[in-house]
A and B are shown apart, each in its own frame.
Chain A
């Protein structure tokens, strides 16, 4: 912790040093050439020449070391933040996070931690130190010039960045709305392309896209306008500082109150000071963005975990018989129960299929059994109430093969081995065979499994569940993303591969007992209905 803070401070100090060198270079060069004009012996100039050389080299070298030090420190900070955030997320998943959109925002927010320092705090600190150095120099040479520089820095270095930042903040909401709208139109058009073409509905969509684009354009145009004004303000105040310094220094020099050698120093130093200050505008914007990221991260991370383990968990019983009585679950912020009063018996080895349209509470049932959500009523495992057990213990007995099971961007074997680290290649290959998957172990699956098909992804998830060897296995719509033929095959294989385990198969298939080939493999079918307008298809069974 302290070592990272020390590194960040070092980076800021080096950055300030580089900017101060720039000011020193400008000031000493101005003095040197004015002095040379008086044609003294060269020896009189040696100190100034050495100073110019030192400042020139120092500026480059310090800038280089600053960038290395601060990037290294920021990346270290990023690592620490990631670990801390993940540790917290592990308690919150999946109930409180759910939407992949939220998770994506968390990842972006965490990555923003590095930017907050690299583009926000460090340049801001360096600029302030450099501005102070320039102010000291001007005030020392001619106090009034110091005041002029202070006023113009306040305008160009503080007011202008604030204008820019607040304009950007105001535009952000409108811009985000425009961007969402445009992205929605483009995405819908692309997804529905064949039908849109066949129905002659494409020109309408292109016109709509043009309109959305124009709207977005207006929103971003406003922030560009204000950013331009801020840039202009900074340049104008730089001009005011230079002109003001000249207007004060020239009469003073003519009156003999100021050595004419210093006129060049006074006129040129503000140029260097403003060079340091130009970074402030983007730093201010970065700080605003970071504040929004922080707020989001805080909201996610400060949430109550959906389930907390009991203080003294009961040890895991040996049996695996599950008994559900009057199970009720209400998700946070919902106005009605997702499940209201379900009874279910799952003695060891029984295979039960649960049907129901979306919203009927099928996945809620799975979440309750896995201790991903709280419940009222009773779920007992071999007579012990689930709420009295530690969540991780429950999940050692009850496993899940989900429709949206994640495959990690690594090899097939690593994805499967995750279930039981240390298993041999032969064991992994064996479960892959049982899951009906014929892929090389070292084949990479790509980001989100993009390099394998939907069926292969599902089978990898199944092989993983088989390797974990859960006595009770919940199969949550394992056929959701598959075409009908493949789905039939996968489901049949799944049930066969489960052997003598208890299986709870959750599916939205219409389920016509006897007609559906899969149903031959289950002992019982139950149907969940959601309180919605009767839908003769969803609840046919």
Chain B
């Protein structure tokens, strides 16, 4: 495992000043530790009481406080920057890779694993480099013999650490996997408690919980034994090294070959050279979890790529003509040819699984098609398109409208950021949505019909406030009964007037309201007008 991932610095600029702060604080801490050792040795040897000792401790207290505050600043800054980077990256793509729930968990709770990494591990890593070097320099100045012993034994600590780590890596990984399975068992059966109760199996799980939990304990202990043993090995190596220094110093002291003050100084200072190196190991898990979280974030972030600035979307003098040729939105779907004449409405009927919804996504630049092309007034949509400009001229209703907790009015207003309240209410009236009704998570509390009305009201709002020339409606009456469908169809017809409209549906009743109906079947590639 690398101790530091350079991509952290690339995506989160807050990392670099923090590293600098860590080095400065670490250097100051090393100097203060040396001063403290020297003052203590001096005081004991000469039977004096140096007031400077108090100043040194005060200095160390200030450093500790600064370190804590700096670690927090860095950690919060890095997390915010990574979060923003992920959100910017996925909004450029227009869709979240994988499940949005997992990604949300990653950018919120997931990145918290970086806290101990920044607060504990990184400063310790810096200390592990700065302190031994500084201490060695001080020892060289006063007692070269000890400095040589320390210089020779010091590398043993990281060497032992790496050797033990390599030897146990495969085993640890294997156990880690088994552990995470066992660890999830209790949460799993608790989550499934109602199901267990339905089948009369709740109490039967007690023995199983005891068994799995016991296995978990054994597996955990097996992996902990290795971790603790390696910590013990490192501690004993450090103790032994200090003992060698002590023997050499003690012998010289016994034979009068060394001043008492120097001997004391060396013995108080020597363990300080080994301590930070050993402590890096104790924060190993913090480091691993932090880097794993960062790794997951980096997997979401695309490689930086330079895109040519798109030419601005040209002003339109009327509804556009849309020509779709051989379009395959996703691999495996049948190709589609379709022309939407300016100012007319076209109903596209197709069975599920033919990629109707992907069609709207392609026209909005949310999805790069697998093959084929879409021309808008003769200009191909693609790399050079000013999507933001184009989207201002489109009103789209997706198949599964996105609803968030809040009032229906707030949900409608989402369609045009900053829309005035009376326009929102007019849009709600147009589709029979209740603007003051309050929604729960995921639109909870609304019937299927009300959801469709809210989504359709968004389209009305866009058409009322923006220069919309293209209307895309994806299954606007799914889940609705025939009466309600008829009720909404009138509004849809009004929306379509003077605009190029694509109505994706599988309901014959609704398709009849369009100027033209096209049936697209997966088996035949040819499209035909059936009106």
Chain A contacts to B: CB under 8 angstroms: 29-30, 32-34, 36-37, 39, 42, 45, 52-53, 56-57, 59-61, 63-64, 67-68, 71-72, 75-76, 78-79, 82-83, 86-87, 89-90, 93-94, 97, 100, 103-104, 106-107, 110-111, 179, 182-183, 186-202, 204-206, 209-210, 213-214, 216-217, 220-221, 224-225, 227-229, 231-233, 235-236, 238-240, 242-243, 246-247, 250, 253-254, 260, 263-264, 267-268, 357-359, 370, 372, 392, 395-396, 399-400, 402, 405-409, 418-419, 421, 447-448, 461, 464, 468, 483-485, 508-510, 512, 515, 533, 535-538, 540
Q: Which residue of B lies closest to A53 (CB)?
A: B243
For residue B343, CB closer than 8 A to chain A, the reply is: no
Q: A240 CA to B51 CA in the complex, in Å?
A: 11
Q: Is the CB of B414 within 8 A of A199?
A: yes
Q: Is the CB of A231 within 8 A of B217?
A: no
Q: Which residue of A lies closest to B400 (CB)?
A: A483
For residue B198, CB closer than 8 A to chain A, the reply is: yes
Q: Is the CB of B228 within 8 A of A228?
A: no
Q: Is the CB of B83 within 8 A of A246?
A: no
Chain B residues whose C-beta falls within 8 Å of the C-beta of A194 in the assembled complex: 94-95, 361, 364, 366, 398, 402
Chain A residues whose C-beta falls within 8 Å of the C-beta of B316 in the assembled complex: none
A-B contact pairs, 25 of them (CB 8 A): A56-B242, A57-B236, A68-B225, A71-B220, A103-B193, A179-B108, A183-B109, A186-B108, A213-B76, A221-B72, A225-B69, A227-B68, A228-B65, A232-B62, A233-B61, A253-B47, A264-B264, A370-B198, A395-B199, A402-B195, A418-B195, A461-B195, A484-B352, A485-B352, A537-B484
Q: A183 CA to B210 CA in the complex, in Å?
A: 35
Q: Is the CB of B58 within 8 A of A239?
A: yes
Q: Is the CB of A63 within 8 A of B40?
A: no
Q: Is the CB of A63 within 8 A of B232?
A: yes
Known: A68-B221, A72-B221. Contact between A79 and B214, CB under 8 A?
A: yes
Q: Is the CB of B200 within 8 A of A515?
A: no
Known: A72-B217, A538-B449. Contact between A406 and B53, CB under 8 A?
A: no
Q: Is the CB of B44 within 8 A of A267?
A: yes
| Size range of the chain B interface in the assembly | 35 or more
Secondary structure type dominating chain B contacts: helix
Least Cβ–Cβ distance between B316 and chain A, in angstroms: 17
Known: A67-B224, A71-B224, A196-B91. Contact between A232 and B462, CB under 8 A?
A: no
Number of cross-chain contacts by CB at 8 Å = 376
Chain A residues whose C-beta falls within 8 Å of the C-beta of B263 in the assembled complex: 33, 36-37
Secondary structure type dominating chain A contacts: helix
Other-chain residue from B54, B64, B205, B225 in contact with A228 (beta carbon distance below 8 A): B64
Q: Is the CB of B76 within 8 A of A263?
A: no
Q: Is the CB of B202 within 8 A of A90?
A: yes
Known: A68-B224, A358-B444. Contact between A260 and B194, CB under 8 A?
A: no
Least Cβ–Cβ distance between B195 and chain A, in angstroms: 4
For residue B169, CB closer than 8 A to chain A, the reply is: no
Least Cβ–Cβ distance between B225 and chain A, in angstroms: 7
Q: Is the CB of A508 within 8 A of B199?
A: no
For residue B380, CB closer than 8 A to chain A, the reply is: no
Q: A484 CA to B483 CA in the complex, in Å?
A: 19
Known: A254-B47, A485-B352. Contact between A93 and B88, CB under 8 A?
A: no
Chain B residues whose C-beta falls within 8 Å of the C-beta of A201 in the assembled complex: 414-415, 417
Other-chain residue from A75, A82, A399, A533 in contact with B221 (beta carbon distance below 8 A): A75
Q: A20 CA to B236 CA in the complex, in Å?
A: 17
For residue B447, CB closer than 8 A to chain A, the reply is: yes
Least Cβ–Cβ distance between A413 and chain B, in angstroms: 15
Chain A residues whose C-beta falls within 8 Å of the C-beta of B268 in the assembled complex: 268
Q: Which of B252-260, B332-340, B423-431 contacts A (4 or more CB under 8 A)?
A: B252-260
B266-291 vs A, CB cutoff 8 Å, 1 = contact: the mask equals 01100000000000000000000000
Chain A residues whose C-beta falls within 8 Å of the C-beta of B68 in the assembled complex: 224-225, 227-228, 231
Chain A residues whose C-beta falls within 8 Å of the C-beta of B250 in the assembled complex: 32-33, 36, 45
Q: Is the CB of A231 within 8 A of B64?
A: yes
Q: Which of B182-190, B302-310, B323-331 contacts A (4 or more CB under 8 A)?
A: B182-190
Least Cβ–Cβ distance between B297 and chain A, in angstroms: 13
For residue B100, CB closer than 8 A to chain A, the reply is: yes
B393-407 vs A, CB cutoff 8 Å, 1 = contact: the mask equals 010101001101000
Known: A103-B191, A535-B447, A537-B480. Contact between A190 and B90, CB under 8 A?
A: yes
Other-chain residue from A67, A236, A242 in contact with B228 (beta carbon distance below 8 A): A67
Additional A-B contacts beyond A33-B264, A37-B253 (5; CB < 8 A): A79-B214, A90-B202, A201-B414, A228-B69, A235-B60
B 228-261 contacts with A by CB, 8 A:
228-229, 231-232, 235-236, 239, 242-243, 246, 249-250, 253-256, 260
For residue B388, CB closer than 8 A to chain A, the reply is: yes
Chain B residues whose C-beta falls within 8 Å of the C-beta of A60 in the assembled complex: 232, 235-236, 239
Chain B residues whose C-beta falls within 8 Å of the C-beta of A83 in the assembled complex: 206, 209-210, 213
Q: A213 CA to B111 CA in the complex, in Å?
A: 13
Other-chain residue from B108, B190, B236, B396 in contact with A198 (beta carbon distance below 8 A): B396
Q: A191 CA to B90 CA in the complex, in Å?
A: 11
For residue B175, CB closer than 8 A to chain A, the reply is: no
Chain A residues whose C-beta falls within 8 Å of the C-beta of B447 in the assembled complex: 357-358, 508, 535, 537-538
Chain B residues whose C-beta falls within 8 Å of the C-beta of A61 in the assembled complex: 232
Q: Is the CB of B107 within 8 A of A186?
A: yes
Q: Which residue of A lies closest to B119 (CB)?
A: A224
Least Cβ–Cβ distance between A42 and chain B, in angstroms: 7
Q: A201 CA to B58 CA in the complex, in Å?
A: 52
For residue B526, CB closer than 8 A to chain A, the reply is: no
Nearest 10 CB-CB pairings of A with B: A239-B57, A537-B449, A406-B192, A228-B68, A224-B72, A192-B402, A232-B61, A228-B65, A79-B213, A75-B217
Q: Is the CB of A206 within 8 A of B84?
A: yes
Known: A179-B108, A235-B64. Contact between A190 and B264, CB under 8 A?
A: no
Q: A83 CA to B214 CA in the complex, in Å?
A: 11
Determine which residue in A32, A191, A395, A400 has the highest number of CB atoms from chain B within 10 A of its CB, and name it.
A191
Q: Is the CB of A68 within 8 A of B228?
A: yes
Q: Is the CB of A36 within 8 A of B254?
A: yes
Q: Which residue of A lies closest to B76 (CB)?
A: A217
Q: A510 CA to B255 CA in the complex, in Å?
A: 100
Other-chain residue from A186, A191, A264, A359 in contact with B445 (beta carbon distance below 8 A): A359
